[in-house]
A and B are shown apart, each in its own frame.
Chain A
Amino acid sequence: MDLRHRIAVCGKGGVGKTFVTASMTKLLADGDNLKILAVDADPAVGLAPALGVSVKKTVDDIRNDLINKIKKGEKDKSEIAAMLDYDVFDALEEGHNFGVLAVGRPEEEGCYCQVNDLLKEIIESLSKNFDIVLIDGEAGIEQINRRVMKSVDDLVIVSDTSAKGINVASTIRHVVEDRKAVNYKRIGLVINKVRNKEEVDQILGATSLELLGWIPEDDMVREYDFNGKPIKDIPATSPSIVAVQGVLETLLDGTIP
């Protein structure tokens, strides 16, 4: 199956973006016939541990190493691209049917547009070998465009039930639409940590974002978080994971097995 579907997940800090991205990765990878690339674009680098793997190198580590190499003399663009490609693949942490790439945080100031553009090209090119790309973003949506890729199929804004979370979701939507921060085909809201359906109805009265799904507050997620256990180990029958499966079905139009 060749879906080549790209989903970016963003939202205010602490609303459960990493939970949503990691659960989606787990559900899709467990299906056994899809290859998933999970990109951690949040500088907090929480996606890899949520998937039970550890990151030894981030894309920004590679970027900074390469800037030093360029300063020492390498000038050929195709050779620089090959070096980045080699290092990016080396940085890819691999699990069952998935790979995780952590973008990290830039440490060195200055304009290295050529390196940044090449890195983005390499992530784009790497992603072509995977059926589905999931990006765990941050509230600053421009980061996805600037550091990962400029176009996605779905932009999923995650919020909890707080007014602040929903406000940030609306702001993200305006930033995306006004500044054309990321190209997308579909944008929608996933409400996380919901106690009852009435909360969802109330929120929907206050936002025009399409509802892609809602995830009930789940003690098991709290327990896994509290004990530092990987999200990927939460049983698929847990109510929150069942809800994420529903979101995936909405996004992928029932094409996932």
Chain B
Amino acid sequence: MGLFDEEIERLSAYLKKKEENGTVRKTKYNDHKDWPVKSSIVLKEDVGAELGNPETASESILVWTEDLEIEDGVIIVGPDLSEGKRHLPFAQILIFKGRFEDEYECYRKLRRMQRDVNLDGYMLRAVPQRIWIRVSKEALKKGFSLGILGRALIDRFKKENYIDAVEVIFVTSSEEVRELRDISNRVQRIVGAMNKMVEELSFDCDDCTYSDVCNEVLKLRKIRRKLKGLGHGS
């Protein structure tokens, strides 16, 4: 099993449950139009919609698989921006299908890329596990939607030849965002374990706070063996 496959399966189960409740809209990449590229700052009085600000629930999850089936598309759980609510909780989930040989570098590159998407009237601030976006009143009037944002993200990521497909999931209702906390924490633990191995080159499991997650995720143990095989650490 891949580094995040178990969490992707949990995300699928989450979506299936939401579909049964009728709160999920699945859209295709081509359902959404292109949007002009421009680096923007959106000040409070120009805000048409604000999602995941530091006072509201927010999650940011980035995972990939080499084996599971993933298709390009944008899935929205909860209201879209056109539905009138100015402040919304927010989760952005990015699931990639492709080939990820250097997991540590891939994770960093993909995180950087999600911050590189500049759209007119859209502003993003992101830290691990939190994402905060603002959309200007003018952009909303012109029809900016989460679908358009999803398409722009897919366009950006698919410029990389190791990415075959990207599924973008946006969640905009409190309960549904909160339900993602466990998965988000788990992904963060996996990434933390990988970072620790690569950055500290320390493979002493007795003293490691990530030994639980390494015991459960086979791919982490493979990364560990690979790093040790390269002559790093003891």
Contact = CB atoms under 8 A, between A and B. Distances in A.
Contacts of B115: 82
Contacts of B112: 78
Nearest to B107: A76
A86 B41 contact: no
Given A75-B199, A86-B130, A130 B111 contact: no
Interface in A69-115: 73, 75-76, 78-79, 82-83, 85-86, 89-90, 94, 96-97, 99
B45 A126 contact: no
Interface size class of B (residues with CB under 8 A): 20 to 34
Contacts of B54: 90
Contacts of A207: none
Contacts of A79: 108, 111, 127-128
A82 B112 CA distance: 9
B123 to A, nearest CB: 8
A126 B126 contact: no
Contacts of B41: 35, 126, 129-130
A56 B69 CA distance: 46
Given A76-B108, A82-B115, A35 B128 contact: no
A99 B111 contact: no
Query: B43, B125, B128 — which one has the most chain A CB atoms within 10 A of its CB?
Result: B43
B43 A99 contact: yes
B127 A82 contact: yes
Interface string A111-133: 00000000000000010111000
Given A79-B128, A86-B126, A94-B44, A129 B199 contact: no
Residue of A73, A78, A79, A126 ringed by the most chain B CB atoms within 10 A: A79
Contacts of B45: 94, 96-97
A82 B108 contact: no
Nearest to B126: A82
Interface in B149-200: 195-196, 199
A115 to B, nearest CB: 15
Nearest to B40: A129
B39 interface: yes
Interface in B92-127: 108, 111-112, 115, 125-127
A86 B132 CA distance: 8
A130 B41 CA distance: 8
Contacts of A129: 39-41
B111 A83 contact: no
A86 B44 contact: no
Contacts of B199: 75
Q: Please name the 7 residue pairs, one residue from A and one from B, whose CB atoms are nearest each other, closest first.
A: A129-B41, A94-B44, A86-B125, A86-B127, A83-B127, A89-B125, A94-B43
Interface of B: 39-41, 43-45, 54, 108, 111-112, 115, 125-128, 130, 132, 195-196, 199
Given A35-B41, A83-B127, A97-B45, 7 more contacts: A78-B111, A82-B127, A85-B125, A86-B127, A94-B45, A97-B43, A129-B41
Interface of A: 35, 73, 75-76, 78-79, 82-83, 85-86, 89-90, 94, 96-97, 99, 126, 128-130
